[in-house]
Structure 1
Amino acid sequence: MLAYLLKRILLMIPTLIGVITLTFVVIQFVPGGPVEQMMMELKGRGGAGEASGGGAEYRGRRGVDPEKIKEIQALYGFDKPPLERYFLMLKRFAQFDLGQSYFQHRSVWELVKSKLPVSVSLGLWTFFLTYLISVPLGISKAIRAGSRFDVVTSIIVLVGYAIPGFVLGVLLLVLFGGGTFVQWFPLRGLTSDNWEQLSLMGKVMDYLWHLVLPITASVVGSFAVVTMLTKNAFLEEIRKQYVLTARAKGLGERRVLWKHVFRNALIPLVTGFPAAFIGAFFTGSLLIETLFSLDGLGLLSYEAVLRRDYPVVLGTLYLFTLIGLVTRLISDVCYVLVDPRIHFEGLHR
């Protein structure tokens, strides 16, 4: 096991470097970089301007003092050759230094930590509600496969899956957020303006009250995948020979289901559990956050791309890629813990 874990950890390094390198190369050819963005702001014109064809100079630089351009290039580190900037970036990342935002004048770590509570609120509630509802529902569907209950619930979860989250969010705002009908829930934010003056129970209720619409818009589309995965996993196990043998020996249906089927059927769910749980801390739906005015990681990444805030783009990409690789390794370890018959040597053959 230790040899396998060491091998996987060593393989993470070239994967991580490859992702960062590809992104770094791409942004070298994207017009409207941070220098041009600053030029446009200094000229008071706003926006990113337009890129002229034929390799001509970016319009944001026209009519600006060349010395001023050099100062801004030095400020952002663009006075150095791309290769030198690339290795400086790798050196910072190796020390877990994600860099400093060009435009928000804060470190990327601080920005991620400041936006994380919003994304955690959305992600964790979506994660827990999805598993708490979908797993029991999937088991019930497997036991009653082919029944009216199975057909009706399949239609419901698939319709929910087919409706985009932001469309459902708009509908919820129109119906329950004061858009056209009633205003039972707030339109924006995670807390009210008078949140600091509320009692402890009042703060909890206010927080949950603000979460109802965005969580509903986020979670409805998540039910189908976990529900159908649970159902199919249980159906596959129920039809196996060892279940027939257990029933032939006179074991009760409940004991067969929970003692023999349950553990084997949970393998595909458990292996995806760590990635889903860790991902809940860093997943942020841009459209949901924008629709309900929630300043989370999704909005941070989107604004960083628009403003060409490269330290934020590359820093968050590095962080999320690293977390993704680690959670994939944890999923493999969970595979073995759930089913000791599986060996590390055979996981990726």
Structure 2
Amino acid sequence: MFAYILKRLLLMIPTLFGVLLLTFLVIQFVPGGPVEQYLAEAKAGSRGAEGAGMAYRGAQGIDPKRLDEIKALYGFDKPPAERFVQMLGQFARFDLGNSFFQNKSVWQLIKDKLPVSISLGLWTFFISYLIAVPLGIAKAVRAGSRFDLLSTIIVLVGYAIPGFVLGVALLVIFGGQLQMFPLRGLTSSSWEDMGWAARVVDYLWHITLPVTAMVAGSFAVTAMLTKNAFLEEIRKQYVVTAKAKGLSERQVLWRHVFRNALLPIVTGFPAAFIGAFFTGALLIETLFSLDGLGLLSYESVIRRDYPVVLGTLYLFTLIGLLTKLVSDLCYVWVDPRVKFD
């Protein structure tokens, strides 16, 4: 086991290197970098000043020395290979750098945005599992029945509808026409002045629509996986033997089938749980004006805020690799028969 864990940890190094290298190379060919955006803003400012009849030196162009200072500020005065090696050295010390435009470290930005993504992710995770696992078990026990057919249709329809499309519909119907729920944010502007009970109600009132939009399609895979796992176990010989010994179907289901059937669900639990903290729902966050990690990533790509793009990519990739390792180790914990050698 120790040798397997060590090998997996060592394999993370080339994986991280490959992800960062590929992203860094793509960035080099993307037009409109931070320096170009600065120059475009300066040109736009000079045009505005000219339109107002004001003398503005920016209309004469950027001084070459000033341009060199701007490139040095963003680190573009060095060749790409040197910048990449410097970035790897920072990441090895878990220094994610500073944002080009927000005057904050990448770590601080992640800490500021993480609570919103945690709110969305954890609610989605727990509600999805609380619905999907019992539904999957019920579908397996009643396989082929009308309940199984109707629930499958509903699950697949929910899975087929994109979350942002459902979010738009919810906003239009319940937020616009019926005005039952707020259109944006996680809390009201007067949240600080409320009592704790009123704060809880206000928070749940705001989170209902975005969580509903995310949950609708997220539990479909877990529900169908649970159903198929239970069906596979129910059809095995040990179930027939247990029934022949006089055990009731309920006893067979909960004492024998349940543990074996939940193997794929339990082993995927760590990845789903950790992913709930860091998986930013970009479209949902944008649609409901929620300032989370998804919106941060989108704005960073649009503004070419490369330290934020690469820093968050490095952190989330590392967390994903470690979580995948934990998920694999859960197989041994749940089923001792599994051997990695």
Give the TM-score, by structure 1 length: 0.92
Aligned to 1:218: 214
- Aligned to 1:324, the other structure's residue is in SS state helix
Q: Deviations over 1:87-127 (max 9, x none)?
A: 11000000000010001111000001101011111000000
Q: 1:235 to 1:42 in 2, by over 3 A?
A: same
Residue 20, structure 1, aligned to residue 16, structure 2:
no
- Please list, as runs of the form range in 1=range in 2, the aligned pairs for 1:160-309 lying within 5 A after superposition: 160-177=158-175, 179-180=176-177, 182-309=178-305
How far apart, in 2, do the equivalents of 1:28 and 1:170 lie? 36
> What one-letter code is carried by the residue in structure 1 that aligns with 2:39?
M
Q: Deviations over 1:254-292 (max 9, x none)?
A: 111111111111111111111100000011211111111
Aligned to 1:43: 43
Picking from 314, 317, 328, the partner of 2:310 is 314
> What one-letter code is carried by the residue in structure 1 that aligns with 2:251?
R
How far apart, in 2, do the equivalents of 1:31 and 1:67 lie? 23
- Please list, as runs of the form range in 1=range in 2, the aligned pairs for 1:52-71 lying within 5 A after superposition: 63-71=61-69
How far apart, in 2, do the equivalents of 1:305 and 1:217 lie? 25
Q: Which has the higher helix share?
A: 2
Q: Note the C-alpha offset of 1:149.
A: 0.7
5+ long unaligned stretches in structure 1: 47-61
How far apart, in 2, do the equivalents of 1:25 and 1:278 lie? 29
How many residues in Structure 1 have an aligned counterpart in Structure 2?
328
How far apart, in 2, do the equivalents of 1:29 and 1:291 lie? 30
How far apart, in 2, do the equivalents of 1:80 and 1:223 lie? 48
Residue 150, structure 1, aligned to residue 148, structure 2:
yes
- Aligned to 1:280, the other structure's residue is in SS state helix
Residue 338, structure 1, aligned to residue 302, structure 2:
no
- Aligned to 1:20, the other structure's residue is in SS state helix
Q: Deviations over 1:124-157 (max 9, x none)?
A: 0000000001000000000000011111111111
How far apart, in 2, do the equivalents of 1:229 and 1:154 lie? 12
Q: 1:82 to 1:141 in 2, by over 3 A?
A: same
Q: Note the C-alpha offset of 1:41.
A: 1.6
Aligned-residue CA RMSD (Å): 1.2
5+ long unaligned stretches in structure 2: 47-59
How far apart, in 1, do the equivalents of 2:139 and 2:38 lie? 58
> What one-letter code is carried by the residue in structure 2 that aligns with 1:95?
R
How far apart, in 2, do the equivalents of 1:172 and 1:31 lie? 37
Q: Deviations over 1:55-103 (max 9, x none)?
A: xxxxxxx943222211100001111111111111000000000010001
Q: Note the C-alpha offset of 1:45.
A: 5.9
How far apart, in 1, do the equivalents of 2:158 and 2:253 lie? 29
